[in-house]
Chains A and B, each alone.
Chain A
Amino acid sequence: MSLIQLLIDGIASGCIYGLVALGFVLIYKATETINFAQGDILMLGAFVAFSLIGVFELPYILGFLLTVLIIGSFGFALDTVVIRQVIGQPPFATVMLTIGLGFVFRGFASIFWGTDIYSFATPFSGKITEFNGLIISYVNLSIIIGTMVLMTGLYLFFTLSKIGVAMRASSENQLAAYYMGIPVKLIFSLIWAISAGVAAVAGVLLAPITLVDTSISLIGLKAFAAAVLGGFGSIPGAIVGGIIIGVVEQLCGTYENYLFEGIREISAYLVLLLVLIIYPRGLFSDKAEVKKV
């Protein structure tokens, strides 16, 4: 297999990591909490899409949009009802809270949808295109294009729209934003909604590759590597970090024999630890330095 082929596969899976990491980054930038349940929200997105497209047989695009809408409002409700109560408490409380929520979502999904592994037909399943001898599957193509479209949309939203600017203001300085008349609580809930919506997009795009079951929530943990590598707090950093992690994983998988067996599964975590130890500010951080003792 040629190197470019590997790169394309790596970039596609990296885009998924990047999207999940983007969810972390949005929430972290605004509220300084880390949502350990991001992967589980992705899983819920995939399941909801499966129900809408696979069971109720809605058209793909409609099902896709409806999924994002449902999961987005779910994220909004989650912040309003639960997360808001622990804001300002030590980080330990939010870490445990979101981990607990992750378990609740996973348990709920396996009760509601059962423990079977589902697959649903998308317009991209099983189709490939050839380009200069490279084989590109439509699924990978859909992931890469989907990510690009979403990123552009989010970029425009954050720079042009009034709500987007308000969101950036509240991330920058909560108190000042509040004095300027920005409804900070509402904005935070909206950020949770966007972040959940992005996770849902990742879930739906990923579903044709990994199939749908509760174990895909583990992607959320690997995406930490992407977020940290990109310098937690930077939106382009999350995507670039995700792509790097995806490519590294793909390369480790292919050259496993030269390294050591099983390195593929832990390569993301190894990168994560190395980055944290050697260069914790990450590639694209807007911070001068991560606080160290």
Chain B
Amino acid sequence: MRFIFKTNYDQDINIVRHNGDRISYGLLVAAMIIIPFFIDDFYLGELSYVFILAIAGIGLMILSGYTGLASLGHAAFLGVGAYTHAFLLTNGIPFYYSIIIAVVVSFFVGAAIGFPILRLTGMYLAIATLAFGFIAEHIFIRWEHFTGGNRGMVVPTPEFGGISFYDSATFYYVCLISLIASMFAAINILRSPTGRAFVAIRDSEIAAQSLGVNIARYKALSFAISAGFTGLAGALLAHYIGYLAPDIFNIFFSLTLLLLIVVGGMGSLHGTIYGAIFVGSLPQMIAIGRDYLPSSIGSQPGLEPLLFGLILVLFILYEPLGIYGRWLKIKLFFEMFPTYKKQTFKKQKTFTKSDRV
């Protein structure tokens, strides 16, 4: 087991805790930078998609994992980001400005939605975001001037000094840089007073309030920041898909994002990466699994939702901390070796909490 000796107050807020982390994350980034030279375009595209999912996951993780608010309509913000970006590009705005404007627009849409509905608590909030998701999907269909409606909308291909964006290596690097930047931004938000306020709200609203946290304001801020990240993911997703249709941003996508953070591990940024890898490779895994099943089951279209739901249920019941939680347990097991106790991670049993009081 590693003990970190604190010789400096700054160590408490360091982003990387010790040299071991520095080496492993450095190696990871280096590997990600040289990987396009070794694998073919298909896998590069898949990897870019995983990065995009991870960015959206960071957004939702800030909201659900760190502030404790469930959003069942987050695909709407992906849609806002994607459509804003595509619309601006079509009208000749350069890529860099366009993507920044997309993030800003998503941020403000998030704030505008967040202020009225985040005054609600618990279940009411989940229901309200669900309704918002449906209404947003409908607006994407009906606002034809802006979104092209059901006919869809072609996303223009920007160029970087003569290299087309659809060269998959270029797109890969754009996604990688966006992911690293988002991760860095998220870590910094979460270790700032703002992020601490989010975590305080998640753990106990009453305690947070009595320590002077303005709950309504911070909840709306969390929603807006989350929408901003998701908007960035949406803008990149627009390029990945290439052709926007409103039914991409449906409730199923919102639930996929929730699956991502639950499977990855609630309340950890590592979890978004694990979850993104999981969700990104799920269709392939199902496709491979189909071959091994008897054809009467394997060829059914209902298999996908069934597995989707089953994974969600099993994780909630048996591993609420997700893949990252499992990794922590394994790590602790070896660090503590003969003295590992299961109780370290035991769920606390409680009576039904009432919000009727």
Contacts and interface: CB of A to CB of B under 8 A. Distances in A.
Interface of A: 28, 31-32, 34, 82, 85-93, 95-97, 99-111, 115, 174-175, 214, 221, 224-225, 228, 232, 260-262, 265-266, 269-270, 272-273, 276-277, 280, 287, 290-293
Nearest to A287: B356
Contact of A111 (B118, B209, B302): B302
Among B124, B308, B317, chain A packs the most CB atoms within 10 A around the CB of B124
A272 B126 CA distance: 12
A82 B314 CA distance: 10
Contacts of B309: 99-107
B297 interface: yes
Contacts of A261: 142
A36 to B, nearest CB: 8
A174 B354 CA distance: 10
Interface string B93-128: 000000000000000000000001111111110111
B132 A107 contact: no
Contacts of A266: 134-135, 138
Among B128, B316, B347, B351, chain A packs the most CB atoms within 10 A around the CB of B316
B132 A293 contact: no
B154 interface: no
Contacts of B209: 293
Interface of B: 64, 68, 70, 72, 116-124, 126-128, 130-132, 134-135, 138, 141-142, 205, 209, 215-216, 219, 255, 258, 262, 266, 297, 300-313, 316-317, 320, 347, 349-356
A79 B122 CA distance: 21
Given A103-B312, A111-B300, A269-B131, A95 B126 contact: yes
A6 B122 CA distance: 36
A2 to B, nearest CB: 29
B353 A262 contact: no
29 contacts: A34-B123, A34-B127, A86-B317, A87-B352, A88-B349, A89-B347, A92-B68, A95-B70, A95-B72, A100-B309, A100-B316, A104-B313, A105-B309, A107-B303, A107-B305, A108-B306, A109-B302, A111-B300, A111-B306, A224-B130, A225-B131, A262-B138, A269-B131, A269-B134, A272-B128, A273-B135, A293-B121, A293-B205, A293-B216
Given A228-B127, A269-B134, A96 B305 contact: no
A272 B120 contact: no
B317 A107 contact: no
Given A88-B349, A273-B132, A293-B119, A104 B306 contact: yes
B181 to A, nearest CB: 28
Contacts of B122: 91
A32 B355 contact: yes
A101 B347 CA distance: 22
Contacts of B128: 272-273, 276
B117 A277 contact: yes
A291 B307 CA distance: 37
A93 B304 contact: no
A103 B127 contact: no
A31 B352 contact: yes
B119 to A, nearest CB: 5
B319 to A, nearest CB: 12
B118 to A, nearest CB: 8
Contacts of B347: 89
Contacts of B138: 262, 265-266
A111 B310 contact: no
A280 B120 contact: yes
Contact of A88 (B300, B352, B356): B352
B135 A260 contact: no
A18 B215 CA distance: 34
Among B135, B266, B313, chain A packs the most CB atoms within 10 A around the CB of B313
Ordered nearest first, which 4 A-B pairs have the shortest CB separation?
A107-B306, A103-B309, A110-B302, A100-B312
Given A115-B301, A266-B135, A280-B124, A273 B313 contact: no
Contact of B306 (A82, A103, A260): A103
B167 to A, nearest CB: 37
B347 to A, nearest CB: 8
A109 B122 CA distance: 30
A224 B131 contact: yes
A261 B144 CA distance: 12
Given A91-B70, A291-B355, A82 B313 contact: yes
A214 B304 CA distance: 14
Contacts of B313: 82, 97, 100-101, 104
Contacts of B301: 110, 115
A225 to B, nearest CB: 7
Given A104-B310, A221-B130, A95 B297 contact: no
A111 B303 CA distance: 7
Contacts of B304: 107
A273 B117 contact: yes
Contacts of A221: 130, 134
B258 A96 contact: yes
A228 B266 CA distance: 28
Nearest to B348: A88
B216 A93 contact: no
Nearest to B309: A103
Contacts of A89: 320, 347, 350
Contacts of B216: 293
Contact of A273 (B64, B131, B266, B303): B131
A276 B205 contact: no
A292 B119 contact: yes
A273 B320 CA distance: 30
Contact of A270 (B135, B219, B354): B135
Given A111-B300, A262-B142, A293-B219, 9 more contacts: A88-B350, A95-B70, A104-B313, A107-B302, A174-B352, A221-B130, A262-B138, A272-B128, A276-B120
